[in-house]
Amino acid sequence: MSLIHLVSLLALLQYLFFGALVGQARVRYGVEAPAITGHEQFERMYRVQMNTLELLVAFLPALWLAAQYWSPPGMAAVGAVYLVGRLIYWRAYTRHPASRSLGFTLSFLPIVLLLLAALGGAAMALPQ
């Protein structure tokens, strides 16, 4: 399970990193709190952080539940794809939002796979 712990911690650190980038963008572009609109680059970074938060709510429980029923290293590998997808999404969305599809797909599909794995594992574990 240590790989599951590692992927979980990396996902949380990644989210905090995106939050720090939002803070930097606030200063750089003069967007004072509590505003969430202003300069386009700030808004892009803010959307990356918020989209990551939206997915993190599903990712972490799905990762942990799937790892209860299936190989933790295998589930951690699926989780690693999510992490890479988030990085690709961040780079694409902050440069050209229309190019975010690959990053979003590499973030969303692992969540779906983990949810299906957890659901399948739970169903198979039901008493006969």
Full pLDDT tens readout for the chain, 128 residues: 899 999 999 999 999 999 999 999 999 999 999 999 999 999 999 999 999 999 999 999 999 999 999 999 999 999 999 999 999 999 999 999 999 999 999 999 999 999 999 999 999 999 98
The answer to whether residue 56 sits within a structural domain is yes
Cα separation of 128 and 75, whole Å? 26
The answer to whether residue 104 sits within a structural domain is yes
The answer to whether residue 107 sits within a structural domain is yes
| Number of domains the chain is built from | 1
CATH number for the domain harbouring residue 6: 1.20.120.550
The answer to whether residue 13 sits within a structural domain is yes
Q: Is the pTM of this model over 0.75?
A: yes
